[in-house]
Structure 1
Amino acid sequence: MQEDKLRHLLGLHLHGRMSAAETEELNALLQDESNEALFISLLTDMMATSAGGEDYDPVRWEAVRQRILDADAGTPVVPLRRTWWKWAAAAVVAGLLAVGGLKYFGREQEKLPPAAVSMDGRYRNDVPPGGNHATLLLANGQEIVLDTAAEGKLAQQGGTRISKLQNGQLAYNDEHSTFAARNVLTTPRGGQYRLTLSDGTNVWLNAASVLRYPTAFVGPERVVELTGEAYFEVAKDASRPFVVKTDGGTDVKVTGTHFNVSAYEEQPAQVVTLLEGAVTVNQRQLEPGQQAVSQNGTIRISPADTEQAVAWKNGFFSFSDADIKTVMQELERWYDVKIKYEANVSGLRFGGGMQRSLPLTSVLKILERYQVKFKVEGRVITVIQ
């Protein structure tokens, strides 16, 4: 009954034919996060069915996506606090648009029929998505695997209590400590983790990343070191700037703000994206909605797609004019797989979004609709066409 009702209301919403009462009813259903799995399943199915039919129209679905994103445009909310289902719906539709929009740049690509569901034995197994996995290294050399650690107090270092909260988050509680030990939080490929530092700063750490930080901030600056990618919501403290240092020489300095830093060693550039507040990147000022790209000792500042920059934190892949190797690099980190190439697909570009909660083969099936095929053997993914 619930599924039928939700499917009916979604159909009306996606085609712009809802009454005020029906809009209120849909909102009530979707405010309940227990409906999330059902909602994603229904919407994805509806999108895929349309994409496979002759009535598929990318322009129409782009209008649907924009209508979803604009649904709360007049509501005074903190940036990126959009109701979860609106972001999810827009990302699903964007994923559909990506399926219909793959092309070789330089010439328009004639649209091909969707790939057959049968994998012809190429998918020998599936790979589950990543999750909350991390290892904490204490100053005394003790390692704590946070996946399996019990909730509650994990350690005491000086005046700082280190705990694992009920939601799995790592938290540091500093009781005016004058002693600062160094801790290291590491996420593997296929892992992510969230922690609260001793000053109240919240950090989301993406896959294959390392954050080095003190158990308490006792000096004139709050300094942490990052390899990989992290999103920061920095606690305000005008007297003690918060500084993020990367291995590539990028220094981000703030007093209280929201920003994302992508600094993977294998990437040619490091990118800082500002969502709220103000930051300086190697003494260059950023404003909200801008990003700083640091490469070969130079910094370029430009407008940023902030939602795309933090899509990973919100549970989505998001690409804009990305080459297939960039896409596969993201999959490699999140699914902990190795990518091999037996075909030259360097001209293929991708734009759109997909849920990071999908199993790997579901993501590959989306990509396989146009000009590329894969073979899955264990944790080795081979690009074969």
Structure 2
Amino acid sequence: MGFFCCVGKSNKNNPADADKAKPSLNVNKKKNWISKDDQLSLDVKNLNLKEDGKGNCKRAQTFTFAELAAATRNFRPDCCLGEGGFGKVYKGQLDRINQDLAIKQLDRNGLQGIREFVVEVLTLSLADHPNLVNLIGFCAEGDQRLLGYEYMPLGSLENHLHDLPCGRRALDWNTRMKIAAGAARGLEYLHDKMKPPVIYRDLKCSNILLGEGYHPKLSDFGLAKVGPSGDKTHVSTRVMGTYGYCAPEYAMTGQLTFKSDIYSFGVVLLEIITGRKAIDQTKPAKQQNLVAWARPLFKDRKNFPQMIDPLLQGQYPVRGSYQAIAIAVMCLQEQPNLRPVIADVVTALNYLASQKYDPGIHPVQGSRRIPS
């Protein structure tokens, strides 16, 4: 999987002198051990990744395993924030930098491995955008692989849309549009601003993290892939991602394009609008797949109110909701060439996010109200 020409920060972790690291091995002959920086270089070398040599990588710190173990109280269960394909994520307080971190530890028996670790470090080494999570540092010590990100206090978008705990209020319409627009801007950066441009390949609600004021940031770039260049139309690769978010043409052929991300974004936007999960096996068979349930409703605008999350209590703008659904419909076109480019999606969602809905002024859609 040829990836970025850079040695340093990965999608989530980077050595403090990552921009100076070389994809070669410096072995201390006297002590016969490999330094932490060189261990990452060895990972890069083994994966046939190329060095940039232009010094374009952001600096990230190199952490020792002992430091991260102490920060998480030896990875105590009560510090665990969640678990994914990479491994478990812990909250930790690192005294050296006096900062809270989200620390992701590679599960050596998990679904993802060294390749994803390196890709994440390299991706975030080249990335710099307010809607992408910041990598603070990483640990590549011996067989340990850990990433240290900025801590996002509000968790993931998934936590605020689905299975809400008692006492947590549902996101209002304005906040939903703010999150959708911010996530789209992060994706636009990957597609249009990064050099080389990147296909995210794993856009989903659980990978959109929320900071103070519900500021969204894309995270988890282990599956990211450099997009096609020159006269190439796609990248052929093993099908990876999450069921329910994968574009149909990618799932069938393994041909990955930027429009594959647009489809995934359409699924996320539909989740934001409806409050439903992409895949929900607790629902009747015909409603378990969100896109399959929504497609018949797309055909007539009279059906659109049926798609709005009932937890909004009817407090949403009719015109704005129709426009948001229309954007999702375009992103979810089965033919990839009919889907919009991300810049157009950003323009449309920025507009919707700027149109503030005030239930005290605008009418409440009574037909969609449910008991508190």
- When normalised by structure 2's length, the TM-score is 0.27
Structure with the higher helix share, 1 or 2: 2
